[in-house]
Amino acid sequence: MTTREFLLLKELMLHPGKILSKQHLEEINTGWNGDNEGNSLEVHIHNIRKKTATYIIKTVRGFGYMLKSHDEN
Protein backbone atom coordinates (compact mmCIF):
# COMPACT_ATOMS: atom_id res chain seq x y z
CA MET A 1 0.00 0.00 0.00
CA THR A 2 1.35 3.41 -0.90
CA THR A 3 1.75 6.21 1.62
CA ARG A 4 -1.20 8.15 0.24
CA GLU A 5 -3.42 5.07 0.22
CA PHE A 6 -2.43 4.38 3.82
CA LEU A 7 -3.19 7.96 4.89
CA LEU A 8 -6.60 7.87 3.20
CA LEU A 9 -7.47 4.52 4.75
CA LYS A 10 -6.25 5.71 8.15
CA GLU A 11 -8.49 8.80 7.94
CA LEU A 12 -11.49 6.64 7.04
CA MET A 13 -10.66 4.25 9.90
CA LEU A 14 -10.55 7.11 12.39
CA HIS A 15 -14.18 7.92 11.52
CA PRO A 16 -16.01 4.62 10.84
CA GLY A 17 -19.61 5.09 9.74
CA LYS A 18 -19.09 8.82 9.11
CA ILE A 19 -19.20 10.30 5.61
CA LEU A 20 -15.97 12.13 4.84
CA SER A 21 -16.28 14.71 2.12
CA LYS A 22 -14.39 14.33 -1.10
CA GLN A 23 -12.83 17.74 -0.42
CA HIS A 24 -11.54 16.62 2.99
CA LEU A 25 -10.03 13.44 1.56
CA GLU A 26 -8.50 15.37 -1.35
CA GLU A 27 -6.73 17.61 1.18
CA ILE A 28 -5.14 14.48 2.67
CA ASN A 29 -4.33 13.23 -0.82
CA THR A 30 -2.61 16.47 -1.88
CA GLY A 31 1.06 16.07 -2.71
CA TRP A 32 3.94 17.71 -0.91
CA ASN A 33 4.05 20.54 -3.43
CA GLY A 34 0.30 21.17 -3.27
CA ASP A 35 -0.67 19.42 -6.48
CA ASN A 36 -3.57 17.01 -6.75
CA GLU A 37 -4.32 15.45 -10.09
CA GLY A 38 -7.93 15.31 -11.32
CA ASN A 39 -9.19 11.87 -10.32
CA SER A 40 -6.31 10.73 -8.13
CA LEU A 41 -8.59 10.34 -5.09
CA GLU A 42 -10.83 7.93 -7.00
CA VAL A 43 -7.79 6.00 -8.21
CA HIS A 44 -6.43 5.68 -4.66
CA ILE A 45 -9.84 4.55 -3.32
CA HIS A 46 -10.01 1.99 -6.13
CA ASN A 47 -6.54 0.70 -5.24
CA ILE A 48 -7.41 0.49 -1.53
CA ARG A 49 -10.51 -1.53 -2.42
CA LYS A 50 -8.39 -3.91 -4.52
CA LYS A 51 -5.94 -4.41 -1.66
CA THR A 52 -8.60 -4.86 1.04
CA ALA A 53 -12.16 -6.12 1.16
CA THR A 54 -13.93 -4.26 -1.64
CA TYR A 55 -17.07 -3.66 0.41
CA ILE A 56 -15.53 -1.78 3.36
CA ILE A 57 -15.41 1.64 1.66
CA LYS A 58 -18.78 2.95 0.58
CA THR A 59 -19.18 5.69 -2.01
CA VAL A 60 -21.82 8.21 -0.98
CA ARG A 61 -22.72 9.88 -4.25
CA GLY A 62 -22.52 13.66 -4.14
CA PHE A 63 -20.85 13.66 -0.70
CA GLY A 64 -17.76 11.50 -0.40
CA TYR A 65 -16.75 8.17 1.09
CA MET A 66 -17.22 6.30 4.33
CA LEU A 67 -15.78 3.23 5.98
CA LYS A 68 -18.61 0.90 6.82
CA SER A 69 -18.89 0.26 10.53
CA HIS A 70 -19.09 -3.31 11.80
CA ASP A 71 -22.89 -2.99 12.32
CA GLU A 72 -23.62 -2.19 8.67
CA ASN A 73 -24.52 -4.83 6.12
pLDDT mean across residues, the chain: 86
Q: Which residue has the higher pLDDT, 55 or 65?
A: 65
Torsion angle of C-alpha atoms 26, 32, 37, 38, degrees rounded to 10? 20
Taking Cα atoms as reference points, which of 10, 2, 60 lies closest to residue 31? Answer: 2
Torsion angle of C-alpha atoms 24, 59, 43, 1, degrees rounded to 10? 80
For residue 37, what pLDDT is reported?
Answer: 65
Residue 26 — φ and ψ, nearest 5°? Answer: -65, -35
pLDDT confidence band for 9 (50 / 70 / 90): very high
DSSP 69: P
* Span 3-67 CATH architecture: Orthogonal Bundle (1.10)
For residue 70, what pLDDT is reported?
Answer: 67
For residue 71, what pLDDT is reported?
Answer: 61
Sorted by where each begins, the domain ranges of the chain are 3-67
Q: What percent of the chain has pLDDT over 70?
A: 85
